Amino acid sequence: MSNADKLQPNGSNFAVWELMMRERALEIFSNPTWYTKPCVDPVQEQIGQSLLLATVDSNMHRSMLRQPNCLEMFAYLNSRFFTVTRGEQLSCWDRLINLKMSDFSSSAEAVTKLYETLDDFISYGLDINRETIGGLALQSSIEPGTELRKEVDRRVEQDLGGSSKTLSKKAVTPDQILKHIDIVKRQLDLGPSRANTFSSSLPQARQSAVAISDQAREFYDPQTWDTQSEQVEGLATTGPQCWNCRLTDHLLSKCRLPRRADFDRPPSTFNAI
């Protein structure tokens, strides 16, 4: 493995690296989520640690070796680089409820895809239980593209990405989402003029949508962007990345997530999907 393919100290290729580790874990341990569970086999533990250290930049070895086992090593890297978005969780939910046997050549293939999708919830920081399923079902039941859906999505994303761990856990529950739905409905009922206040709560610095071509969005790189705005300077990663979700493992045309509310301006770390 070349140094460029290893997990970089700035986390710019974390999404690609995490996918690679899932594939390696499937090959070696027959479980793509092996690194997210405690290991009781000392031989497997040694193999897992060696694989982790071999696939990350050597500058991170010291901090990783402070962790007692593979599970803690992987959790450390996730906490350092992985940013969960509600858009990714909802997209995973959409794939799950729209799974059809007719799309697969065999039942075994369908079951494999089902398990992969369920495992994805773990990757997106979401345990499957009564509360999380209820939250996903409630939020996804709102008509896509409506002002209600856009504002509720923004508020849930804001709760999920906040500094409060307590609020972050509550963000995906039906009770918390229902509170946002009720508040937004009341504001929308006050009329269009009040609904416009939603946009005023977003950062005011905007890039003109007219000036941004489809090609510029497709090959977006914050380092070469001609306007050094606060949003661009706030990006955690550099190099080509998706205009919609900021991930570096694909470009806009390959993005499977719903368009973020402020699609007309460059993405930023504090700009939720």
pLDDT over 70 for what percent of the chain?
77
Domain match, 74 and 97 both: no
Q: Residue 258's pLDDT is what?
A: 82
Across the range 60-80, mean pLDDT stands at: 89
Q: From the CB of residue 93, how many other CB atoms can be counted at a distance below 10 Å?
A: 22
Identify the pLDDT of residue 231. Answer: 45
pLDDT-derived band of residue 160, with 50, 70 and 90 as boundaries?
A: confident
pLDDT tens for residues 162-201? 656 677 778 889 999 999 999 999 888 876 554 455 555 5
The pLDDT of 258-262, averaged and rounded, is 80
Query: What pLDDT score was predicted for residue 199?
Result: 53
Cα–Cα dist 120/107, whole Å:
20
In this model, does residue 40 exceed pLDDT 60? yes
**Encoding tokens for residue 232?**
């661009």
149: part of which helix (H) or strand (E)? helix 147-160
Domain boundary among 49, 81, 113: 81
Q: Tens digits of per-residue pLDDT, 82-125?
A: 666 787 888 889 999 999 999 999 999 999 999 988 888 877 77
In a domain, 205, yes or no: no
Both structure tokens of 211: 């000036």
The pLDDT of 204-217, averaged and rounded, is 52
Q: Which domain holds residue 235?
A: 211-273
Q: Please check whether residue 148 lies inside any domain of the structure.
A: yes
Please indicate, yes or no, if residue 206 is contained in any of the structural domains.
no
